[in-house]
Homo-oligomer: A and B are copies of this chain.
Amino acid sequence: MNMATEKTVRPVIGFIGLGVMGRPMAENLLAAGYPLMIHNRSQAAVRALAEMGATPASTSADLARASDIVITMLPDTPDVETVYFGSHGVFAGARAGHLLVDMSTVSPALARRIAQRGAEVGASCLDAPVSGGDLGARAGSLSIMAGGNRADFERALPVFRVLGGQIKWMGQAGAGQVTKACNQIIVALTIEAIGEAFALARRSGIELADLREVLLGGFAQSRVLDVHGQRLLDNRFDPGFRVALHRKDLTIALAEADAQSTALPVSALIHAMFNALVAQGHGGRDHSYLAAYIDGQSRPEADQA
């Protein structure tokens, strides 16, 4: 019996982006026993992870050189663009055999550009955005929607299983981002749906708790009605998932729709409503505030107490 074959040699993971999502994901990878390189703009998270055993790298390129698998988890499309294509970015340190996994929510177009550049240097690329929020990130129960080559997805699966619950390969490069965009379209429009229903009910004298209960028992049932319906009852709009981020996700969806000549009339309208909310200073509220906004009687002060 050869003991060496019994020992799992784990690949070195380089993790870029230790924010509200990335930090607990990186912690879970450390806890699962992966050697971890880290890089982040803010140094507070770097120091905390280093104390847990991770090794800081001074640039994304340095991190890539020292890693087998690179995971990025950043706020928006321009951040990811810089981290991959910048002069000290991931591609400056990328080599054949690398697996580069962007788990941020960005445009499918950028995901396809990263995959194309990866192919040029012999690196494999996946776009693998998530849903489930910071709670899901901490619990390791994220839903992961991946695009890229199927074989590369299989290679990433052990890592994904540390981070997520529902994990699904959706197709070639960009397919993960398109799936995430579809998710965000449905969630946004469903929030508006319950907002309009609750506004009509309240102004007609219906008890909103009764409304939520009876509608949850019928064809109008949804997870959004359950969770955000309760938020509307409680008048609590502390995030959660911020208005400003959901606006960004609809920007991505509409850009992809434009590229595919697809009409998304209501998504476009909701995007405009999110813009109005941000312009009026509500970008930091939970996205469920969209549902409260149409009904002038909501009391947004409640969550600031």
Chain A residues with CB under 8 Å of chain B are 108, 131-132, 143, 145, 166, 168, 170-172, 174-175, 178-179, 181-183, 185-190, 192-194, 196-201, 203-207, 210-211, 213-215, 217-225, 227, 253, 256-257, 260-267, 269-270, 294-295
Pairwise interchain contact B185-A196, C-beta atoms closer than 8 A: yes
5 closest cross-chain pairs (CB), A and B: A222-B222, A189-B193, A182-B197, A186-B220, A203-B260
Contact partners of A227 in chain B: CB under 8 A = 219
User: Once bound together, how far apart are the Cα atoms of A137 and B207, in whole Å?
Assistant: 26
Contact partners of A178 in chain B: CB under 8 A = 200-201, 204-206
A200 touches which of B193, B207, B223, B262 (Cβ 8 Å): B262
- Minimum CB–CB distance from A190 to chain B (whole Å) comes to 6
Pairwise interchain contact B183-A218, C-beta atoms closer than 8 A: yes
Known: A178-B206, A182-B197, A189-B196. 14 other contacts (CB 8 A): A166-B214, A171-B205, A174-B204, A178-B201, A179-B214, A182-B220, A186-B194, A186-B222, A190-B190, A193-B266, A196-B264, A200-B257, A203-B262, A266-B266
Contact partners of A203 in chain B: CB under 8 A = 260-262
Q: Is the interface of A mostly helix, strand, loop or mixed?
A: helix
Pairwise interchain contact B253-A166, C-beta atoms closer than 8 A: no
Pairwise interchain contact A218-B132, C-beta atoms closer than 8 A: yes
Pairwise interchain contact B186-A189, C-beta atoms closer than 8 A: no
- Minimum CB–CB distance from A43 to chain B (whole Å) comes to 33
Pairwise interchain contact A199-B295, C-beta atoms closer than 8 A: no
Pairwise interchain contact B143-A190, C-beta atoms closer than 8 A: no
Pairwise interchain contact A170-B219, C-beta atoms closer than 8 A: no
Contact partners of A179 in chain B: CB under 8 A = 201, 206, 211, 214-215
Pairwise interchain contact B266-A192, C-beta atoms closer than 8 A: yes
- Minimum CB–CB distance from A292 to chain B (whole Å) comes to 13
User: Once bound together, how far apart are the Cα atoms of A203 and B259, in whole Å?
Assistant: 10
Pairwise interchain contact B267-A266, C-beta atoms closer than 8 A: no
Q: A145-B214, A200-B178, A203-B261 are in contact. Are A219 and B183 (CB under 8 A)?
A: yes
User: Once bound together, how far apart are the Cα atoms of A197 and B190, in whole Å?
Assistant: 12
Contact partners of A211 in chain B: CB under 8 A = 170, 179, 182
Q: Could you list 17 A-B pairs, sorted by A, with CB under 8 Å?
A: A166-B214, A166-B218, A168-B213, A171-B210, A182-B201, A185-B197, A186-B220, A187-B219, A189-B196, A190-B190, A196-B265, A200-B256, A203-B262, A222-B222, A265-B269, A266-B270, A269-B269
